[in-house]
Chains A and B, each alone.
Chain A
Amino acid sequence: MRRRCGLVLVLASFAVAPPVFAQSRFEIGGGVTWTGGFDAGGLDALETRPGAGSTPLTLFATDSRVTAAAGVRAHAAWFLTPRLAIEGAGEYSRPALETTISNDFERATGSVAEIDVASYVFGGSVLLHFGARRLVPFVFVGAGYLRQLDGDGTGAVTGAEFHGGGGVKYALSSRVGLRVDGGISSRDTSMAFEVKRRTLPVIGASVAYRF
């Protein structure tokens, strides 16, 4: 009975005095991300058959994919106005590039060859917030610099990245809040066997501090 009363009191206090973010100029934060995987392209291992126009002999076929990966992210934002902010962010994740081997002409053992990829994105965004309540929706759009290194540290790709999306910030106090966002990240290159623009889903959750 006593416990039920306590619960009612806490809920009531939230309802009566919900915290909102202070009208601060700066926000810093850090958290985790998840970036979707994608088809990495690639060709099959073929040998020339005798005879003009003959279909090549397949020594083995390949199917390559970059796996989805969790990562970490840090950001720092500067509020130009209470609603409009510019933000710089850095993100690190470690997906794997996996090549699945099939249809081996001589039934070779082993079917997957893989390598880790260290992926870095450094970028900037413009954020537009809606309202000054405890739960603040926002949208963002921006661009960044992508750098990916293979696990042996010898191969690297760099390129441009563009992103956009939306999310919410939930105030735990006037200075501390939670941020959840989701969007897309469009990259003009990747550590893959086919160079082309790829658009990936990205979601993130972080803790933010304003001052």
Chain B
Amino acid sequence: MKRIRALAVVAALVLSAPAVSAYLKLGTHVGANLVPLHWGAFPIRYFVTNRDIAGVTAPQLQQAVAGAIATWSGVRDVSISSQFVGFTGASPISGDGMTVIGFQNRPDLDLVLGSTSYTVDSVTGEVIESDIFLNSIFPWSVASGGEEGRQDVQSIALHELGHLLGLGHSALGETDLFGGGRRVLGAESVMFPIAFPAGNLNRALHADDVAGLSDVYGSDAFRASTGSITGRVTKNGSGVLGAHIVAFNPESGTLVGGFSLTPDGAFTIGGLEPGLHVVRAEPLDDGDPGSFIDSPQPIDLDFRPAIYSRLVSVPKGGTANGVEVKVTPK
């Protein structure tokens, strides 16, 4: 079998989103099929760059990365593991056969704190190599309580490691326009594409992150103990592409999001706790829609957020079907 290695780069971008049971996952084409980007072999063996930057030494970077990896590895009923191989002088650039995490000076990317790139086996869709760089043009810190004016390494590494594991961006966050960009008012996922302002920590996973990781690497026990919701978002009878749908469990307070990924407005939200959920749909207007979904067709932003009129009962190990969230134009 001839294996062709394809290089795909994610710089806070979503490559593509598989249409089936997908909301946070990155996808890659294998032949005509779109499959979730995933690692097939564990442990993930990674290196950390041996360069110090102002405020962060290489060992401190390695400790922060190890902390972020431990957070992802701590998700229940998920089997992922990693191994720190050592420090390296190599840069976090794809194509060298090494998974490298480290700082890189990228003044050309003055709005990008970090980026993850992949080398993917285009036959299986499995990740062969992935690299993460943190942009050293920004001030960084590893202080346990954060440091005013500096980005927290572990928080941003946690986000990028989510990409490394195959997750795309979550839209579970609210922003407003501020100083020519967007400012986060609140977020309930570390995979929200816009970071908390410098000086703030964001080191803990939320239900949405756990659901996303579990969707890719979850065990049979996870699938048997959780459920999903499928349905459509419609406007005047037609499907809405690119709506963000949130399932909220009023008993536990957990929020898990998904997207309508096809022109007929179909969506799936997986990894949900069994029980009753409130379902809410909203347009992707808290960031660049392209940072969530890479679609050749335009994302529909012209509708008002809406609450589904029924509570949806998610069965254990099953799917609640037939949800239709009807939205109206703005």
Interface of A toward B, CB cutoff 8 Å? 41-52, 56-57, 59-60, 62, 64, 97, 99, 101, 104-115, 150-155, 193-194
Cβ contact within 8 Å between B305 and A109: yes
Give 8 new A-B contacts, CB below 8 A, not counting A60-B280, A108-B306: A45-B246, A57-B185, A99-B250, A108-B280, A109-B304, A150-B311, A152-B315, A155-B313
Please report the C-alpha to C-alpha distance between residue A96 and residue B252 in the assembled complex, in whole angstroms.
20
Nearest chain B CB to A83 CB, angstrom units: 46
How far does the alpha carbon of A104 sit from the alpha carbon of B305 in the complex, in Å? 9
B173 near A: Cβ within 8 Å? Answer: yes
Indicate whether B100 reaches chain A with its CB closer than 8 angstroms: no
Interchain CB contact under 8 A, A47 and B187 = yes
Distance in angstroms between the alpha carbons of A109 and B314 in the assembled complex? 23
Interface centre among A45, A101, A111, A114 (most CB of B within 10 A): A45
Can you pick out 24 interface pairs between chain A and chain B where the beta carbons lie within 8 Å of each other?
A42-B250, A43-B253, A45-B278, A47-B173, A48-B202, A49-B185, A52-B145, A52-B201, A56-B186, A60-B248, A62-B250, A64-B250, A97-B311, A105-B174, A108-B280, A109-B304, A109-B305, A113-B307, A113-B308, A113-B310, A114-B310, A115-B310, A152-B312, A154-B315
Return the 10 tightest CB-CB contacts between A and B, nearest first.
Answer: A57-B186, A47-B186, A110-B307, A42-B250, A108-B305, A154-B315, A43-B253, A152-B313, A50-B196, A115-B311
Chain B: residues with Cβ within 8 Å of the partner, total of 46
> Which residues of the partner chain A approach B53 to less than 8 Å between Cβ atoms?
none
Work out how many contacts link A and B, with CB atoms closer than 8 A: 134
- Scoring B residues 246 to 279 as 1 if CB is less than 8 Å from chain A, else 0, what string do you get? 1010111101000000000000000000111011
A154–B274 CA distance with the chains assembled, in angstroms: 9
Contact status A107-B305, CB under 8 Å: yes
Contact in complex: A109, B309 (CB < 8 Å): no
Residue B95 interfacial (CB < 8 Å): no
Residues B251 and A193 in contact, CB atoms below 8 Å apart: yes
Q: Does B17 belong to the interface (CB within 8 Å)?
A: no
CA distance A113 to B318 in the complex (A): 21
In the assembled complex, how far is the CB of residue A57 from the closest CB belonging to chain B, in whole angstroms?
3
Contact of B200 among A42, A51, A97 (CB under 8 A): A51
A59–B250 alpha-carbon span in the complex (Å): 12
Q: Is the CB of B307 within 8 A of A101?
A: yes
* Assembly CA distance A97 to B278 (angstroms): 12
- Do B305 and A48 touch (CB < 8 A)? no
Quick check: is B282 within 8 A (CB to CB) of the other chain? yes
